[in-house]
C-alpha cells in the first residue's frame, strides 16, 4: 500500500490533555455551569455555532473585563502534552510522514504545541483579536469547527498537491466527525465518545498505539 503522505492531528485530548476552550472560558470568568449550559444548547441544536460564540462573548464582558495579550497567551498555554506526544511526533517525522496540526480551538495554543512538538504547520479555527494597547477585544472564528476543519484541510491539501485520501486524521473531539467522513483512514481513542468511535476506521488506546498503527497502514 502506498504510504499516506499527511498525518492530521487534533489538539484537545489528542496531543494535549484537557480542553483549551474550557480553560480559556474559566480564565475569562465564565462559570463551569454557564459553560456547560451554553455548550449543551449548542450540542442539542437549540442554538447554532454563531449563536453559541456570540453568547459566550457576552459572558466575557470584554468591554470591562480586560485581559492583556500576555495574560491571554498564559491562559492558552496552560496545557499538558500527552506523555507520549513528543516521542510519537519524532517517530512519525523520522519515518518520513508530513504532519499537520488542525485544531478546533485557538491559534495561539496550536502554535505553541506545534513549536514544542516540531510540527511545521498549525491551523486553528479561532484567533484572539487585540487592540493597539494589546488588550483582548474579540475572537475571530472561521466558523463551525466541524465543517470548517474539513474546509481548512481541503485548502491545505490543494495548496500542497495532496488529496483527502492521502490523509490520516487522528482526533478525539466531536468536531472531527465530518473530517472522519471526508478521509479514508481515521483514528480515535477508546476514551472518545461512542459516536466518534463508530465513525473512526480505527480505535486505539493512546498516541503510541496510533503511531504503531499508522506505520502498518
Give phi and psi for 160, each to the nearest 5. -115, 20
Q: Which of 101, 103, 105 shows the shortest CA–CA distance to 139?
A: 105
Can you give the residue range of the structural domain that contains 183? 6-17+82-214
Q: Is residue 47 part of a domain?
A: no
Q: Which of 36, 32, 98, 106 shows the shortest CA–CA distance to 76?
A: 106
Q: What is the CATH number of the domain that holds 202?
A: 3.40.50.1000
Residue 217 pLDDT grade (very low, low, confident, very high; cuts 50, 70, 90): confident
pLDDT of residue 3: 62
Q: Is residue 33 part of a domain?
A: no
- Measured CA to CA, the distance from residue 67 to residue 69 in angstroms comes to 7
Helices (H) and strands (E) in the chain, counts: 10, 7
For the cut 70, the answer to whether the pLDDT of residue 203 exceeds it is yes
Q: Is residue 202 part of a domain?
A: yes
- Measured CA to CA, the distance from residue 9 to residue 188 in angstroms comes to 10
- Measured CA to CA, the distance from residue 175 to residue 196 in angstroms comes to 9
For the cut 80, the answer to whether the pLDDT of residue 4 exceeds it is no
pLDDT in tens, 177-197: 999 999 999 999 999 999 999
pLDDT in tens, 21-33: 999 999 999 999 9
Counting the structural domains of the chain, the total is 1
pLDDT in tens, 101-128: 999 999 999 999 999 999 999 999 999 9
Q: Is residue 54 part of a domain?
A: no
For the cut 60, the answer to whether the pLDDT of residue 2 exceeds it is no
Percent of the chain with pLDDT over 90: 96
Chain position carrying cell 492531528: 9
Q: Is residue 132 part of a domain?
A: yes
Residue 1 pLDDT grade (very low, low, confident, very high; cuts 50, 70, 90): very low
Q: Is residue 130 part of a domain?
A: yes
pLDDT in tens, 120-161: 999 999 999 999 999 999 999 999 999 999 999 999 999 999
pLDDT in tens, 37-61: 999 999 999 999 999 999 999 999 9
CA dihedral 197, 198, 202, 206 (to 10 degrees): 10
| Cβ neighbours around 71 below 10 Å, total | 15
Q: Is residue 53 part of a domain?
A: no
Q: Is residue 65 part of a domain?
A: no
Amino acid at each position: 500500500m502506498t504510504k499516506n503522505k499527511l498525518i492530521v492531528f487534533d489538539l484537545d485530548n489528542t496531543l494535549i490533555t484537557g480542553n483549551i476552550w474550557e480553560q480559556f472560558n474559566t480564565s475569562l470568568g465564565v462559570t463551569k455551569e454557564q459553560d456547560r449550559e451554553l455548550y449543551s444548547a449548542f450540542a442539542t441544536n437549540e442554538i447554532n455555532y454563531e449563536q453559541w460564540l456570540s453568547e459566550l462573548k457576552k459572558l466575557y464582558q470584554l468591554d470591562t473585563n480586560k485581559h492583556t495579550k500576555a495574560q491571554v497567551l498564559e491562559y492558552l498555554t496552560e496545557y499538558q502534552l500527552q506523555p507520549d506526544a513528543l516521542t510519537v511526533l519524532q517517530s512519525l517525522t523520522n519515518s518520513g510522514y508530513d504532519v499537520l496540526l488542525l485544531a478546533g480551538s485557538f491559534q495561539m495554543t496550536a502554535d505553541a504545541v506545534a513549536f514544542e512538538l516540531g510540527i511545521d504547520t498549525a491551523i486553528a479555527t479561532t484567533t484572539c483579536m487585540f487592540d493597539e494597547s494589546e488588550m483582548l477585544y474579540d475572537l475571530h472564528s472561521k466558523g463551525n469547527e466541524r465543517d470548517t476543519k474539513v474546509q481548512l484541510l481541503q485548502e491545505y491539501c490543494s495548496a500542497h498537491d495532496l488529496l483527502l485520501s492521502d490523509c490520516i486524521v487522528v482526533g478525539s473531539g466531536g468536531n472531527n466527525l465530518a473530517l472522519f467522513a471526508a478521509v479514508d483512514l481515521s483514528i480515535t481513542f477508546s476514551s472518545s465518545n461512542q459516536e466518534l468511535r463508530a465513525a473512526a476506521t480505527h480505535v486505539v488506546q493512546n498516541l503510541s498505539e496510533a503511531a504503531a498503527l499508522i506505520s502498518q497502514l
